[in-house]
Structure 1
């Protein structure tokens, strides 16, 4: 059979035989686990270790359907999976999808054998007594407990109530467990989102602090560059003065050796005045702020007169010194 138009019992028989399961209702396929393994039996590349066969909550069903959708996308299957309808575990939606999946299986499955239990590493629980042989469960329980309820007409009703209690109990427990898991997941997601927001705020604060530090550092670097430029300019300026004095002293020494300059004090005065001109020379745009008028009115001595007196005393001392001490020695430079 191709799968289209088959009855519920035929589909369940084919599904349980292929996957070694014991599904009793089509609605159980709404978990998505059986669909994943049917596709795995065709291609053999579905990550079965991630498929949850014992899923009880809807978010676990969605995880299985995500794996199924990834396999469809990988193999370029254009079939649309109505996940929102299938996870509701309704009969008609899952029946139609299972019929299509069986037809697809017959069209694409090769002749190789498929070991379902080893692939999923999950063994389905055993069927309750009475399933598969046509004997109702209540009858088997009443027959097994017939010796205890002999002599009363309520022997058949008591086991039935016991079965109902046993069946309803686990279902209620699983439902409560599923709701608890959903609430726990919601709390965890809220905590994680709050932590992420706090982390983002902290990163933004650090970024703003780093930007302000960078701006202040750039300002300091600009100030240091200006200071370095000024210092280099002053260095070149004073080095030029020393170089001019060196050239003047060397040329004067050579002229003295040649006999051009005599021991006349006026020659020494001219030499010293040239040196002073070099020392007191300034760059263009440089001005020395000296309040001469205030000094003269206050009765303070004139700076020019003082400089002339110092120059005269220096000349007198130079005249009194020996001839070999009049010129600066070349080794000084």
Structure 2
């Protein structure tokens, strides 16, 4: 299963999932409020997605949700690559590209990650997984001396509610660390079900439009493929070049070789 998910080609439906659907998936699954793909460039979200799909495999206390510098982000991706190796997932992570925060590079990796998580979880969110509690626990283990009256308490609170970021860093509004953790641990299943139901409703509203958009562009690519197979064009070098691009795997760079 891991090898299959890692080797999906660029023509796979996974890479036709739009930016809005990816953001909705992240926000619904991890109870976040991301507005831009590049907000996931630190690698922390990817680590927590793997923590949800494979409980106990990711050492969450090592995940740095505060990572802002490339050095700190690289540490998160190193951790993620170690998890991939442990699970025998044959997926190379283009760390140098991802930490730059370019939307397209991060979108492609998140598209792959969604496909992988869907293949593991069957497109069903783990109802027993509390993402806020897991982040809270990881932050506590990472900063055992954090005091509720100290400045780091505010930093921990930021991590639990991160997603609304700007050039200055994380949003500083919201309850303190203790209240956030207590609310997370003590939340009853009924409120969680209501929250999930609301998120599912939002996803269902946009799902139809996203599927139409995906099918629209896939149909265009299919038309190009059929055109390249026509007797008039099949033997032309440009048709062969187009076919190479269409059939290239995720790790291949056809244009760079040309």
Name the structure where helix makes up a greater proportion of residues: 1
Higher relative contact order (CA 8 A, sep 6+): 2
Return the index of the structure with the highest Cα Rg. 1
